[in-house]
Amino acid sequence: MSLLLGGRFVLERQIGAGGMARVFLGRDEVLERPVAIKILNPGHGGTDISARFRREGRTAARLSHPNIVQVYDAGQGEFEGREVSYIVMEYLPGGDLKGVIDEKGPLPNAELAQLGAAVSSGLAHAHEGGVIHRDIKPHNILIDAYGRPKLSDFGIARALDATQATQTGSYLGTALYSSPEQLQGERVTPKSDVYSLGVALYQAAVGQTPFTGTPIEVASQHASRMPTAPRVLGADLGEGVEALILDCIQKDPDRRPTAEEVHKRLLNVPETTRPIRVPPPVSESPSAERTRTAPPEDPPTAESPAGATRRRGRLRRGPILLAAAALLLVLLGGAFAMLGENPLTALISREAPQANLTGDQPASDSEESTSEQATSGDVAGGGSDGEPASDAAAQAVRDYYEAAANGDYEGAWNSLSAGYQRQQGSREAYTSQFDTLESIQWAEGPTAQVSGDTATVTGVTTARHTNRTERNQGTWTLVYEGGGWKISGQNVSNISTEYA
């Protein structure tokens, strides 16, 4: 398939379909980046539905937030010999929350809190701008390549209201997550979105929606039945997160929190910085076939139990090796001196190298390089002036953002590892995210932890853009490659955004 819409958007292949529209993976030929193109089914061309579809798309394009899928364009074009309406959006390769739940099962407390904090932040921004979503559900919470959730399809439900009730499948999809007031034909408000978000979080925690059955049965339960508490059904939730979910799905809208209140309450949940595990992004070419693989392991962080276990394991091995070496020295005396080999170095150099959790190759696979990294501790990967490796890794992240803020996109691109660059595709597509960035300051950190040829850096930044100021928290994974630290992965989530 090679069809050009709007003079610049090439359709590659279909990646999704619903009762009213189809979604295609495409490419913006002007900016050379992959895009998602939602095309209203041809039978609605030239109708009031088609006009509202485009109008709502343009309304959504005015929303700019890290946790909202960016809409780039909306228009009309010829498709399969008929005039159609289309919306061009940011392409996210991680699938949707429904797919994550189907693959992983229910999310644990920390991951669910992170997800809810991010989505509610985007929702609060939309509500501040007077935009109500009307159709929040796991299918409309998309995941980007870094595990960051983003709300999609703002306004599409309102554009299709006239015919949606006649489509049983569409109605069921809405009824499962709709508020009582929506199902009873009453006025929809921002609190209606909060109810739907609560149902989506309930499903993410439990693995199923609070109410099931036929559309009529589900609608009746939304209006009259209290849901079973998630922890009764075995959900791995803290009391605070469970209480918030149940507050969101109160029957009375006045008893529900606002989206901003949801965001603030979830930010106070401990350990909400773990990324959502998603399949790796689609390969560099948008036309490549998409395959599902097992979610990658999280990189070890200061908060990660797995990372802590690995560190404890290394710490326990260290004293054992030292004790063994000392015993050998005492017993064998000058024998090793005659051989010209230090027993401690010999023992450590025979340790198996640490697994590379990022998927990137270290700078050298030679035995000499492995031995040097294993014995030098925090000095391996350090600066040329003897700077500790942890400081050098943290400085690499600082330099990355300083280059981006100064418009040195070549420098920012070169701060990425070779493997990470291959994942991102072209430099222009990747660095376009910095087009509005003017400056960045560190509110916390950056702080690095180093293990061999890998490092994990954490911190909180204040990023000033031409139209907003963002406070973000992030975790960056780095590898020591080509004589320096390179970023091989990152998970950045928004804490707050103020618009100029």
63: domain CATH number is 3.30.200.20
Q: What strands lie across the sheet with 468-481, from one edge to the other?
A: 437-451, 454-465, 468-481, 484-499
pLDDT at 60: 77
The verdict on 409 and 449 lying in the same domain is yes
The verdict on 130 and 183 lying in the same domain is yes
Q: 296 or 116: which carries more pLDDT confidence?
A: 116
**Phi–psi pair at 5, nearest 5 degrees:** -110, 140
The verdict on 67 and 164 lying in the same domain is no
Report pTM.
Answer: 0.56
pLDDT at 422: 81
Residue pair 467/498 in contact (Cβ under 8 Å)? The answer is no
The verdict on 118 and 84 lying in the same domain is no
Instruction: For residue 367, tell me if it sits in a domain.
Output: yes
pLDDT at 328: 44
pLDDT at 155: 62
Question: Would you state the torsion angle of the CA atoms of residues 123, 292, 434, 87, taken in this order, to the nearest 10 degrees?
Answer: -60
**Burial of 289 from C-beta contacts in 10 A (0-12 / 13-18 / 19+):** exposed
Is 66 in a helix, a strand, or coil?
A: coil
The verdict on 82 and 118 lying in the same domain is no
415: left (phi over 0), alpha (psi -120 to 50) or beta: alpha
pLDDT > 60? residue 331: no
Instruction: For residue 283, tell me if it sits in a domain.
Output: no
User: Is-cis flag, bond preceding 215, omega within 30?
Assistant: no
What is d(CA 153, CA 59) in angstroms, rounded to the nearest whole number? 11
The verdict on 102 and 86 lying in the same domain is no
pLDDT band with cut points at 50, 70 and 90 for residue 385: low
What is d(CA 278, CA 132) in angstroms, rounded to the nearest whole number? 28
The verdict on 9 and 46 lying in the same domain is yes
pLDDT at 475: 86
pLDDT > 60? residue 329: no
What average pLDDT does the segment 147-160 reach? 74
Task: Choose from 103-107, 340-344, 363-367, 382-386 the range with maximum mean pLDDT.
Answer: 103-107
pLDDT at 345: 35
pLDDT at 402: 92
Task: Report the b/e string of 388-417 with b at 16+ CB within 10 A.
Answer: bbbbbbbbbbbbbbbbbbeebbeebbbbbb
What average pLDDT does the segment 358-371 reach? 34
pLDDT > 50? residue 299: no
What average pLDDT does the segment 263-292 reach? 53
What is d(CA 109, CA 133) in angstroms, rounded to the nearest whole number? 26
What average pLDDT does the segment 348-360 reach? 33
Instruction: For residue 135, tell me if it sits in a domain.
Output: yes
pLDDT at 63: 85
pLDDT > 70? residue 157: no
What is d(CA 202, CA 242) in angstroms, rounded to the nearest whole number? 8
Instruction: For residue 154, tell me if it sits in a domain.
Output: yes
pLDDT at 156: 62
pLDDT > 60? residue 33: yes
Instruction: For residue 284, tell me if it sits in a domain.
Output: no
pLDDT at 273: 42
Give the rounded distance of the alpha carbon of 371 from its chain centre: 36
What is d(CA 495, CA 463) in angstroms, rounded to the nearest whole number? 11
Average pLDDT taken over every residue of the chain = 75
The verdict on 394 and 488 lying in the same domain is yes
Q: 177 or 291: which carries more pLDDT confidence?
A: 177
Which residue do the tokens 């004293």 mark? 319
pLDDT > 50? residue 373: no
Instruction: For residue 444, tell me if it sits in a domain.
Output: yes
The verdict on 449 and 491 lying in the same domain is yes
Instruction: For residue 288, tell me if it sits in a domain.
Output: no
The domain in which residue 31 lies consists of 3-90
Q: Which of these ranges, 212-226, 257-271, 329-343, has the smallest mean pLDDT?
A: 329-343
What is d(CA 451, CA 23) in angstroms, rounded to the nearest whole number? 43
pLDDT > 60? residue 349: no
What average pLDDT does the segment 62-82 reach? 86
pLDDT > 70 in the chain, percent = 70
pLDDT band with cut points at 50, 70 and 90 for residue 386: low
What is d(CA 164, CA 169) in angstroms, rounded to the nearest whole number? 9
What average pLDDT does the segment 457-480 reach? 89
Residue pair 404/463 in contact (Cβ under 8 Å)? The answer is no
- Select from 90, 106, 138 the last residue of a domain: 90
The verdict on 70 and 176 lying in the same domain is no
The verdict on 402 and 484 lying in the same domain is yes
From the list 73, 96, 135, 153, the catalytic residue is: 135
- Select from 90, 122, 149 the last residue of a domain: 90
Inter-axis angle of helices 259-267 and 239-248, to 10 degrees?
Answer: 170
Pick from 449, 404, 460: nearest CA to 431: 404
What is d(CA 213, CA 282) in angstroms, rounded to the nearest whole number? 36
The verdict on 108 and 248 lying in the same domain is yes
Q: How many domains does the chain have?
A: 4
135 catalytic per annotation: yes
CATH number reported for the structural domain that contains residue 458 in this entry: 3.10.450.50
pLDDT > 60? residue 375: no
- Select from 374, 406, 427 the last residue of a domain: 374
Q: Which of these ranges, 18-27, 252-261, 310-319, has the smallest mean pLDDT?
A: 310-319
pLDDT > 90? residue 54: no
What is d(CA 166, CA 491) in angstroms, rounded to the nearest whole number? 41
